[in-house]
Amino acid sequence: MTATMIDMKFVYADLLTPSQLMEGDLINIDNDIVEVISVTDDATGDNYTITHKNEYDEVEETFCTYEDMFKLYVFVDDDE
């Protein structure tokens, strides 16, 4: 593991709805920080499927509504 990765940590950045999520976002689902692979909605835009990958590279799907909120995390360098 490089020294750069050791000095970095996750920090809460924002609270987003499913429609605001993008591929590569790091979000909290079931108390785990996962990487968003894709976000798809149904024809009405009321229900969403979030496909995400956990730290073990396992791909899972989470079903939610447009009202659900997800915590967005970012990496920050601890040395600053």
All domains of the chain in start order, with CATH: 8-77 (2.30.30.30)
In what order do the strands lie in the sheet containing 26-29?
A: 8-16, 70-77, 26-29, 32-41, 47-53, 59-65
Which comes out higher in pLDDT, residue 13 or 9?
A: 13
Residue 26 · residue 34 · CB < 8 Å: yes
Using alpha carbons, select from 58, 55, 57, 48 the residue that is nearest to residue 19.
Answer: 48
pLDDT in tens, 21-80: 999 999 999 999 999 999 999 989 899 999 999 989 999 999 999 999 999 999 887 665
Give the global pTM: 0.83
- 8 Å CB contact between 3 and 66: no
14-23: per-residue pLDDT in tens? 999 999 999 9
